[in-house]
Amino acid sequence: MNPLHLGVLLVSLLPGVDRLSGKSFATRSPLIAQQGVAATSHPLATQIALDILKRGGSAIDAAIAANAALGLMEPTGNGIGGDLYAIVWSARDQKLYGLNASGKSPRGLTMEEFKKRKLTSIPLYGPLPVSVPGCVDGWFELHEKFGKLPMKEVLAPAIGYARDGFPVTQLISYYWGRGVRALQDQPNFASVFAPAPKEGEIFRNPQLANTLERIGQSGKDIYYRGDIARAIDSFCREVGCYLRYEDLAAHSSKWVEPVSTNYRGYDVWELPPNGQGIAALQMLNLLEPHDLSSLGHNSASTLHLLIEAKKIAFEDRAKFYADTEFNKIPVDVLISKAYADQRRKHLDVNRAKRRIPAGNPRLEQGDTIYLTVADKDRNMISLIQSNYAGFGSGLVPTGLGFVLQDRGALFNLKEGEFNSYEPGKRPFHTIIPAFVTRDGKPFMSFGVMGGAMQPQGHVQVVSNIIDHGMNVQEAGDAARFRHTGSSQPTGETMTDGGLVSLESGIPLEVSRALIKMGHKLGMAVGGYGGYQAILYDRENDAYRAASESRKDGMAAGY
């Protein structure tokens, strides 16, 4: 077997028991530290975050520094051509803040253009799925409110690695190769990202170093209203992309109120649409009356309930989740206990449903990075950032060293729907940060990257900790299910119950029981998400952090 593939195949080879307890599986002990901690999907990015903390930076400074480094080191999932969302716990204010730093569709691209091309969906690659990149504006919004170090200093580690180079890790190398095979013919892509570096090879991106240096020196205006914006505009005109200087200049992030539901005494927080975070809250509401602890972790009965709850929530996700500036979305109703009581009639505890209607509330595979950082002042940030599918659109603006995202592929080309394409509109988004509080105090900052897997992963992690008593590392390493085939905001409708994939840490007898309940099972290698988390141990005034085994990442602290 090619050793590069081992990291991908590991997810299907996890043993069922932990090396110490004989119970839940964990690859390592949780990281425990008092002053500051960081958990990211790349060890070098984690160390950058710690360095920033030790220099007096806030958790938010450290998160931005790590994100900038990940855009270089893990371009298969994120970069400054993509969007960003974050939830911040402010120790000073004793409250959560939410940031939606996603961009809108080009104002010059209309539905008529898609009709003229006879398209029923927006292509994943090329000029048509590109939307305004929100990441850089998101950094500066976070920094202005919560930062302590100058942005030039925050971006310096990523700039240094971009110039001097870094060794590419195993799993990233594997996905890099896949990306190059798909995108090598897109404008400028091969000149920056091909050939795909093998595991351990040194990669440099001097173009990105120059771009980040200019942003650090001049601020976000150079990206949205200055020379970088003009370079993006000029490139897009050359390659038939509709993104323009005016779209970039009009962009702004949105500070939003996180929303929550209470699950067995814990408040689980997500951001409201255009993202999919509230699907996790809807699932938890549907599950709460069931005693998952007594049913057992990853038993057939427990997995069946989780899968059916996912199907129900995703019908509402397909119908209602979209840009709130274009639609009146009944978020409060969707995440209410009363609405869950109505929807629970579709949850048969014994049998899998093939088709489920969306509710009537009154008034799939993406690549992402997730990271979380906490500092000595007890500020915490849950941050997620993405190009959407792998490298994104494949379009690399000349001389800038990054790829423009393809998030616009998640619009629906059927008119009259909540998520129908319109100019200047934010598309439906899959990337979602999460946070948990208890009694109004921080309990855990966490996320599970990976397209439509994210709400499913959030619920599995929350249940692992609250229902099954796992520690923060076990909760992420434990074997997962992934359900695909639900109805989608892009217009597809579930008619056959979808497909359930199980990691091999789940016993074969459970698979057989699920088949008897009417579930269709498939085999998926990978696609089960990637988890990072920081749990605040209030009793000992210390942090416990985790980074799971499905990624190249690391949790560390001091």
Residues identified as active-site: 368
Helices (H), 80-220: 111-116, 135-146, 151-164, 170-183, 189-193, 206-218
* Distance of alpha carbon 421 from alpha carbon 419, whole angstroms: 6
Tell whether omega for the bond before 15 is within 30 degrees of 0, i.e. cis: no
* Distance of alpha carbon 33 from alpha carbon 535, whole angstroms: 11
Distance of CA 218 to the CA centre of its chain: 29
How crowded is residue 144: how many other Cβ atoms within 10 Å of its Cβ? 11
Residue 152, φ and ψ in degrees, nearest 5: -60, -40
Amino acid of residue 378: R
* Distance of alpha carbon 445 from alpha carbon 67, whole angstroms: 16
Amino acid of residue 225: R
Tokens of 206: 């001097």
Amino acid of residue 85: Y
* Distance of alpha carbon 400 from alpha carbon 301, whole angstroms: 52
The CB-based long-range contact list for 224-229 (8 Å cut-off, 24+ gap) reads 224/136, 224/137, 224/248, 224/249, 224/251, 225/249, 228/400
Sign of CA dihedral 316, 101, 402, 153: negative
* Distance of alpha carbon 450 from alpha carbon 406, whole angstroms: 15
